[in-house]
Structure 1
Amino acid sequence: MIRIFDFLFSFLGLLFLWPVLVILYIIGLFDTGSPIFVQERVGRYKKPFKLIKFRTMHVNTQSVATHLSSSSSVTKFGSFLRKSKLDELPQLINVLKGDMSLVGPRPNLFNQTELIAERDKRGVYNFLPGITGLAQVNEIDMSTPVELSEKDAEMLQNLTVSDYFRYIFATVSGKGSGDRIKK
């Protein structure tokens, strides 16, 4: 049932938001010269997939978890995209393709070994990663791997269709902090 919602909402989201995506893409061209950011992330069953986002950092920035990145790496437009969560919109393509769900644990990098171990212990990788979820609306980020893994597992064990919509609406209405970066 949730996969049907994922497909339907990601398709409709891309269909209705394409003018916004085009505008953000064009502004991103002027901001960084390369507005789309593609990065390998850990997916369901720990299989790699290519996560698509709008670029928020300078092109040659080192690939590290967001909470470890320096604020000087983020462009002014990138800062706006992160605060508004618009940098996540291209992930609707990942959802449409079946690499992600709208709701699930945020996909991490393969170099986040502590988080991978904690999530593995709790069976988190048996589910699709998502754009938002319980941890995000409660402002828990990847800097606390144990707490994040516990919240992810709690969400996945008890996820109902009403929770699915609640997390989406909470995110769209601005609940959660977005990506945090080191000051």
Structure 2
Amino acid sequence: MMTATGLVASRLLVHAVLQRMRRAGRNLRTVAVVGAGAHRDSVIANIVKSPGAGFRAVGAFNTRRGSEADVPGLPSFAHLREFADWVRRERIEEVWIALPMSEERTVLRIIDEFSGDLVNLRFIPDVRGLAMFDRNVVDLIGAPAINLMASPMTPYALIQKAIFDRLFAAAVLIALLPLMTAIAVAVKSTSKGPVLFTQRRKGADGRVFRIYKFRSMSAHAEQPGVVRQATRGDPRITRVGAFLRRTSLDELPQFLNVLRGEMSVVGPRPHAIEHDDQYRSIVDGYIHRYRIKPGITGWAQVNGFRGETDRIEKMQGRVEHDLYYLRNWSFGLDMRIVLATVVKGLVHRNAY
């Protein structure tokens, strides 16, 4: 036990010392980047802002000199032979190829040029025009693969999120049981119909589930295949229901959906299936909201995209925020959204 503890402690110490040295500009591997334009600049920017990773950009081979600018502050070359001679002369340790996959001929020229050298060659393909989300290289049954259209969240991230969801939902349901009981009594005693309203929604990977809400409208029959969104002054909304919708208290039973594993605390808000069918063909990226579980609250909601979506532009804005959340997910972002929902998201002028 003591040996294992000492081994872990020594590795943590070495890691901390290396990080400190690298941030001070020492123990860095030199990198020359091959490419042009925004993708090359992005790769170099990532090197600059991540000194702890152990790399330092020192030069570039501009594959489109004349149409694309050189990198300011770094020596740039326009001819491969001149670039290769410089790499050998300066003993550059890494050459990173930041090119689209369509430029296979250039990639092969670079590989051939350095085939007799000990320099490390790494290919960072530009797949921005192909991938729905930021590139993500995974090990797929022993072979590297780039996700073009797949959930950007790793299995570890999904497990982390699921554990938080269940614990948070259980705590909320226990803490708010008296409030939810009082709401149930108020709903039942002021209008005819069930306490809970249920509706079919799509969850992760398009799986259908029944979402729970406190009923906020008087009992009424919907035309088959048509779901009317609530509008300002909607006569179907009860007096108690208006308060519940304005304060988002009607959403509290969805923590039961979270506990059942059908929803997440934070994620894209689920829409009625009829609206999914309507918007998936006219709103760019709409269907990719269902790469993960839908949420009780989300990045779109805390940024003002709540309530009725009476114009395509509103739905497009909501979807863009949902896709931003997918691309930039972190546990910290989830906590930020939960806090924003509690502080400013419970009451909103678009909730009616």
Instruction: State the TM-score, normalized to the length of structure 1.
Output: 0.89
Partner of 1:40: 200
User: Could you say if the C-alpha distance between residues 99 and 119 of structure 1 is closer, same or farther in structure 2, counting changes exceeding 3 Å?
Assistant: farther
97, 108, 117: which one aligns with 2:271: 108
User: Any gaps of 5 or more consecutive residues in structure 2?
Assistant: 1-159
* Paired AA for residue 44 in structure 1: A
Partner of 2:42: none
Q: Superposition RMSD on alpha carbons, in Å? A: 2.1
Aligned equivalents of 1:137, 1:153: Cα separation in 2: 14
Instruction: Note if 1:50 corresponds to 2:210.
Output: yes
Report if the CA contact (8 A) 2:216-2:245 is conserved.
yes
Aligned equivalents of 2:228, 2:269: Cα separation in 1: 12
* Paired AA for residue 103 in structure 1: V
1:16-165 correspondence to structure 2 within 5 Å: 16-33=175-192, 34-60=194-220, 62=222, 64=227, 66-67=229-230, 71-112=234-275, 113-117=277-281, 118=283, 123-141=288-306, 143=309, 144-165=314-335
Q: Could you list the runs of 4 or more consecutive aligned residues of structure 1 that deviate by over 6 angstroms after TM superposition?
A: none
Aligned equivalents of 2:228, 2:170: Cα separation in 1: 28
Report if the CA contact (8 A) 2:198-2:210 is conserved.
yes
Instruction: Note if 1:5 corresponds to 2:164.
Output: yes
Aligned equivalents of 2:172, 2:205: Cα separation in 1: 27
Aligned equivalents of 2:187, 2:286: Cα separation in 1: 39
Report the 3-state secondary structure (helix = DSSP H, G, I; strand = E; otherwise coil) of the residue aligned with 1:147: helix
User: Any gaps of 5 or more consecutive residues in structure 1?
Assistant: none
Q: Which has the higher helix share?
A: 1
Q: Structure 1 stretch 44-53 or stretch 116-125: which is displaced more?
A: 116-125
Report the 3-state secondary structure (helix = DSSP H, G, I; strand = E; otherwise coil) of the residue aligned with 1:39: strand
CA shift for structure 1 position 177: 2.3
Report if the CA contact (8 A) 1:7-1:95 is conserved.
yes
* Paired AA for residue 46 in structure 1: G
Q: Which has the higher strand share?
A: 2
Report the 3-state secondary structure (helix = DSSP H, G, I; strand = E; otherwise coil) of the residue aligned with 2:211: strand
Instruction: Note if 1:177 corresponds to 2:348.
Output: yes
Higher RCO (CA < 8 A, seq sep 6+): 1
CA shift for structure 1 position 31: 2.1
Aligned equivalents of 1:69, 1:50: Cα separation in 2: 25
CA-to-aligned-CA distance 1:57-115 (integer Å, 9 cap, x gap) = 11115362535586111111001101111101100000000100000010011111243
Aligned equivalents of 2:332, 2:263: Cα separation in 1: 19
User: Could you say if the C-alpha distance between residues 140 and 64 of structure 1 is closer, same or farther in structure 2, counting changes exceeding 3 Å?
Assistant: same
Instruction: State the TM-score, normalized to the length of structure 2.
Output: 0.48
Aligned residue pair count: 181
User: Could you say if the C-alpha distance between residues 124 and 42 of structure 1 is closer, same or farther in structure 2, counting changes exceeding 3 Å?
Assistant: same
Partner of 2:84: none
CA shift for structure 1 position 43: 1.2
Report if the CA contact (8 A) 1:28-1:55 is conserved.
yes
